[in-house]
Amino acid sequence: MTDFERPHLTVDVVAFRWRRRLEVLLIRRGKPPFQGQHALPGGFVEPFEPAPVAAVRELREETGVRIDPETLRTVGTFSGPDRDPRGWTASAVYAAVLSPDVEAAAGDDAAAAEFVDAQALPLLAFDHAQVIAAARRVLIERVQVEPWPLTLLGHGFRSAQVRALYAAILGEPVAPRPLKAWLRRRGAVTRVGVARFSPSAELRPDWLR
């Protein structure tokens, strides 16, 4: 059988958090290449390890953040031959949404772990600027089809917080009255108190246009 060049398989996680602004979880690399530079949590997939499981493991090892693989959303695969100076890698990228109370602490080979403003990203290693841009597009798409982005608000949020979150995700103002009508029509939220809500399990089909 003829040998062919094959990329090494890696994973990267774009983990978002909301604290009055949209934030992305980054590490500072503790080792070459790009030592000291900001990057996404991630790393190499172990033999016979499913990529989503590897993504959750790398996120936990490098930042201390624990999530379930089922909460991830696929962003795509990045496989440019020049993306990693160590050699050809193909990265399976996933997006995660974290509740506002989640904190990060550096571990494994990360020199630091911190949440940064998604609108003011520092210089990033590898192709991670393009990866984050792709993950933000996924976040925009998911707003229309599932309550998953509302997880960013935690438990017991107000409709005004939904409006601020969606405006940040979509990059444009969101009017309160149409948003409230949309939330009711799609069943996006469940009431948990006086003017307090949590995400529903799923959105109802939108038959009203």
Per the domain annotation, does 99 fall within a domain?
A: yes
Residue 63 structural domain: 8-143
Number of domain units in the chain: 2
Per the domain annotation, does 2 fall within a domain?
A: no
Prediction pTM value: 0.94
Both 111 and 25 in one domain: the answer is yes
Angle subtended at Cα 130 by Cα 72 and Cα 133, rounded to the nearest 5 degrees: 60
Both 54 and 105 in one domain: the answer is yes
What pLDDT score does 4 carry? 78
Per the domain annotation, does 205 fall within a domain?
A: no
Both 128 and 193 in one domain: the answer is no
Both 35 and 130 in one domain: the answer is yes
Q: For the chain (length 209 residues), average pLDDT per consecutive 10?
A: 80 98 97 96 97 98 97 97 93 98 92 97 97 98 96 96 97 95 94 94 78
What pLDDT score does 207 carry? 63
